């Protein structure tokens, strides 16, 4: 069985109530259910996590690097300044493990400080601005690489 980590950074636990005009009214639990419904549970397990803690997120990327686990990562606000998270993501991709950076909204259509990602240069790919479909497309890409 293949495990895929789906990691979500700060404030994503507030989906559904946080800026619904930007992020919509669906919750993180809705996202989890939608992703789990799109995989064959006998072949693929999603390990879905969210934290507001940068160190915890870095630790999870270390786990992925050590175990060879593909990652879908929404670094949220850490996208723009966390070099520690960037270095941990580089450990994943440097080991040849896919790591797809995702964003629900399009950071380039928002405030200027959101236009820069310190993660993108080390990610396998980046998908942004498509809501939950950003995650679904990342999942599809990883699954096609595994099959």
Binding-site residues for substrate sit at 74, 80, 87, 104-105, 114
C-alpha span between 102 and 137 (Å, rounded): 9
The single residue of 23, 81, 115, 135 carrying the catalytic annotation is 23
Q: Among this protein's residues, is 103 annotated catalytic?
A: yes
C-alpha span between 39 and 43 (Å, rounded): 8
Look-up of token digits 């990562």: 73
DSSP element (H, E) containing 71: strand 71-74
The single residue of 103, 108, 135, 141 carrying the catalytic annotation is 103
Which two three-digit tokens encode residue 51? Answer: 């934290």
C-alpha span between 107 and 104 (Å, rounded): 9
Q: Among this protein's residues, is 23 annotated catalytic?
A: yes
Neighbours of 142 (CB within 10 A): 22
Which two three-digit tokens encode residue 105? Answer: 């909204």
Neighbours of 81 (CB within 10 A): 15
Which residues sit in the known binding site? 74, 80, 87, 104-105, 114
Active site residues: 23, 103
């Amino acid at each position: 069985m293949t495990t895929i980590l789906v990691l979500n950074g700060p404030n994503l636990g507030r989906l559904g109530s946080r800026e619904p005009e930007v992020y919509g009214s669906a919750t993180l639990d809705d996202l989890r259910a939608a992703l789990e419904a799109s995989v064959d549970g006998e072949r693929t397990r999603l390990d879905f996590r969210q934290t507001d803690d940068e160190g915890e997120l870095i630790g999870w990327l270390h786990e992925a690097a050590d175990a060879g686990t593909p990652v879908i990562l929404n670094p949220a606000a850490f996208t723009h300044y966390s070099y520690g998270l960037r270095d941990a993501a580089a450990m994943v991709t440097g080991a040849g493990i896919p790591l797809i950076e995702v964003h629900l909204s399009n950071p380039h259509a928002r405030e200027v400080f959101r236009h820069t990602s310190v993660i993108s240069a080390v990610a396998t790919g980046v998908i942004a601005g498509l809501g939950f479909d950003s995650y679904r497309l990342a999942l599809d890409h990883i699954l096609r690489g595994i099959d």
